[in-house]
Amino acid sequence: MSVHTEPSADSLNAALEGLLRKYAVEPGTQWRLAGPRESRGDGEVLLVAGWSEPDAELSDQIVPLLPWRSEQRFIELRRIVAQKTVTPVLMGRLACHTDGEQMPLGAILYRQFDLAEWLTGSAIKSLYASIRGQLAANVILRLADGAICSVEAGVALPPGTPVQDRHELIAGRGVASDRTVDTQVAQASVYLWDGDGRQECTDVDFELFGRDAAEASLVRAAYEALRQPEIRPALRQAHRRLRRLVQLAFESDQRGARLRVAADSGEDT
């Protein structure tokens, strides 16, 4: 499978339906895993990637997903911190670059801010941002436990380039990273060169074979939201906070100042 293949919504919904059937999960309501550009119907629960929803306040019909939380590399990185294999976390270096089509700049900040809090288990207390148009951003975060995180985001990669990201946590004892130490970019398990160019494949989920990490994690996140409807209010609350944090980052850039984050919101104090 080429990593540049964009799956259809029908394909992802079929994969999600297969998981629900396998584990005998009955959602009890009509649902659909919707893409960011799809039309929205009435009377069904819409499962969407949170970064694709520009509004902070969402109706009960919409469930904003945080799919990276279902990606295995981040689950393991979070576990390393929670089990104090590396401790205490003093600094985080989080970088993500895209071609701008897969995720715009604000969406990357949304994702990286959530990862900063979720991986470390500590809330963002203040931020200082420098943003160059809608192309690049550098943000310094101070967390509640005193740790500092740098967030680097950009959308200037050549068209069709896969997302390039790396997340590193530096602690008083040890360092943890989601990438191997001798490379800055993700590596595939299998590469194939032929007359049509290069193809590559990495199997990341034995139940969702053939899906790349982003697709598999989105389906997994949607599955959990249907299996556990009680987590949906928490997802909406997290979405509101992340939307306000992104807004605050742009305000910090405009004002040229470090802004503090109010409790449970993204407003400056």
CA distances from 155 to 64, 112, 127 (A): 23, 14, 21
pLDDT of amino acid 39: 61
Per-chain mean pLDDT for the chain? 90
Tell me the average pLDDT across 65-83: 96
User: What percent of the chain stands above pLDDT 90?
Assistant: 72
Q: What are the angstrom distances between the C-alpha of 110 and each of 51, 58, 207, 249?
A: 6, 16, 28, 10
* pLDDT one-digit tens code per residue, 94-152: 999 999 988 999 999 999 999 999 999 999 999 999 999 889 999 999 999 999 999 99
Provide the greatest CA pair distance for the chain: 59
How far is Cα 215 from Cα 38, in angstroms, rounded to an integer? 17
Reported pTM: 0.90
pLDDT tens across 209-222, in order? 888 889 999 999 99
Give 6's pLDDT tier (boundaries 50, 70, 90). Answer: low
Query: Domain 9-201+209-260 has what CATH class?
Result: alpha beta
Task: Give, to the nearest 10 degrees, the angle between helix 232-255 and helix 105-120.
Answer: 120
Domain residue spans in the chain?
9-201+209-260
The count of C-alpha atoms lying within 13 angstroms of the C-alpha of 110, restricted to the half-sphere facing its C-beta, is 26
Long-range contacts of range 188-197, CB-CB < 8 Å, 24 or more positions apart?
A: 188/3
CB-count exposure of residue 164 (10 Å: 0-12, 13-18, 19+) = middle
Q: Identify whether the C-beta of residue 138 lies closer than 8 Å to the C-beta of residue 152.
A: yes
